[in-house]
Amino acid sequence: MRAIRIHQYGGTETLQLNQIDTPKINTDDILIKVKSSSINPVDWKIREGYLKDFIPYQMPVTLGFDVSGVVSEVGSEVTDFKVGDEVFSRPDISRDGAYADYIAVKADEVAFKSPKLSFEQAAALPLAGITAWQCLVDVGQLQAGQRVLIHAGAGGVGHLAIQIAKAKGATVIATASTANQELLTQFGADQAVDYTKGSLLEQIEPVDLVIDTIGGEVQSNSWALLKAGGMLVSIVDQPSEELAKQHNAKAAFVFIESSSRILRELNKLVEKDQLLPFIEHRFSLEQIADAHLQSQTGRTRGKIIIKVS
Ligand X SMILES: NC(=O)c1ccc[n+]([C@@H]2O[C@H](COP(=O)([O-])OP(=O)(O)OC[C@H]3O[C@@H](n4cnc5c(N)ncnc54)[C@H](OP(=O)(O)O)[C@@H]3O)[C@@H](O)[C@H]2O)c1
Contact footprint for ligand X (CB under 6 A): 40-42, 128, 131, 151-152, 154-158, 175-177, 180, 195, 213-214, 218, 235-236, 254-256, 295, 298-301
Cβ distance to ligand X smaller for residue 22 or 240 = 240
Residues 143, 20: Cα–Cα separation, whole Å = 48
Shortest distance, CB of residue 134 to ligand X, whole angstroms?
Answer: 8
Shortest distance, CB of residue 24 to ligand X, whole angstroms?
Answer: 29
Cβ distance to ligand X smaller for residue 81 or 187 = 187
Exposed/middle/buried for residue 75 (C-beta within 10 Å: 0-12, 13-18, 19+): middle
Cβ distance to ligand X smaller for residue 15 or 30 = 15
Shortest distance, CB of residue 169 to ligand X, whole angstroms?
Answer: 23
Cβ distance to ligand X smaller for residue 52 or 272 = 52
Shortest distance, CB of residue 275 to ligand X, whole angstroms?
Answer: 15
Q: Tell me the residue number closest to ligand X, measured at CB.
A: 155
Cβ distance to ligand X smaller for residue 4 or 152 = 152
Angle between helices 156-167 and 260-271 (to 10 degrees): 70
Dihedral-angle region of residue 229 (phi above 0 means left; psi in -120 to 50 means alpha; beta otherwise): left
Cβ distance to ligand X smaller for residue 54 or 255 = 255
Q: For 185-242, where are the E strands, in sequence order?
A: 191-194, 207-212, 226-234
At position 259, the amino acid (one-letter code) is: S
Shortest distance, CB of residue 181 to ligand X, whole angstroms?
Answer: 8
Q: Are strands 86-89 and 67-74 parallel, antiparallel or unpaired?
A: antiparallel
Residues 33, 261: Cα–Cα separation, whole Å = 22
End-to-end Cα distance, the chain: 12
